[in-house]
Structures are given as structure tokens and as C-alpha cells.
Structure 1
């Protein structure tokens, strides 16, 4: 039914086409940002794991008070 109405009304306007293209670009930008943040997050998690793996019992002990 929607296709019939759009065909009857003459299809999308140039403004609608521009807005659709802008929304597609925005989606692509947001997807790229998500991927960048995932890569950054993975690197941070890797760094934390490396630091935790290198912690010894001596590193956790507080100096004795005099």
C-alpha cells in the first residue's frame, strides 16, 4: 500500500532524498566511531590485564608504620 501511495504521489522529493543521504552518512560515521571505540577499549583492556598480571604480593603490601 505504501508503495502505491508513493507512486501515486510522485515519489520522494529532493529534500527527502537529501535527508536520506545525510542520514546514511551519519549512520556510517557512527558505525565507524563505534569501531574506533571498540579498538581503543580492547587496547585499554589489554594494558590493564598486562599490568594486573605483573603485580606481585610485595606491590600490594603497605609499608609498615613506624
Structure 2
């Protein structure tokens, strides 16, 4: 299957290898950014919950 992905004859194209490495680095960078943003979001969520006592207790809706 790898041969089908990289081309059966002549090996891999250096431009394609370079582009694949660039894209893999971009994916890693984006995954790191997602992790950082999720951690920050968790911090902010906890701060809001701590700042508003009883925030988890909701009043019943009017019928």
C-alpha cells in the first residue's frame, strides 16, 4: 500500500516528501494550539464557576 501512496516506479518525489513534512509539522503545530486553547478554556470555565456561587444550581423554568 505504501508503494501506491508514494508511487510504484522511481521512488518518492523530493518535493512531495518536503510538502508532506511541512504538512505534518503544521498538523503538530495545530494540535499543540488545540491543547493550549483547551487548557485555557478549562481555566476560564473554572474561574467563571468559582466567581459565581451557585452557578451549577439552576432555578426551574416557568411553566
When normalised by structure 1's length, the TM-score is: 0.70
- Distance, in Å, in 1 between the alignment partners of 2:27 and 2:8 is 27
Q: Hey, what does 2:13 align to over in structure 1?
A: 13
TM-score using structure 2 length: 0.73
Which structure would you say has the larger RCO, counting Cα contacts within 8 Å and 6 or more residues apart? Answer: 2
By percentage of residues, which structure has more helix?
A: 1
Size of the alignment, in residue pairs?
A: 54
Query: Runs of 4+ in structure 1 displaced over 3 angstroms?
Result: none
- Once residues 25 and 52 of structure 1 are traced to their aligned partners in structure 2, the CA distance between those partners, rounded to angstroms, is 41
Instruction: State the SS of the aligned residue for 1:7.
Output: coil
Instruction: Answer with 1 or 2: which has the greater Rg.
Output: 1
Structure 2: 5+ residue stretches without partners: 56-63
Provide the aligned C-alpha RMSD in A: 2.4
For structure 1, list consecutive stretches of 5 or more residues without a partner in the other structure: 56-66
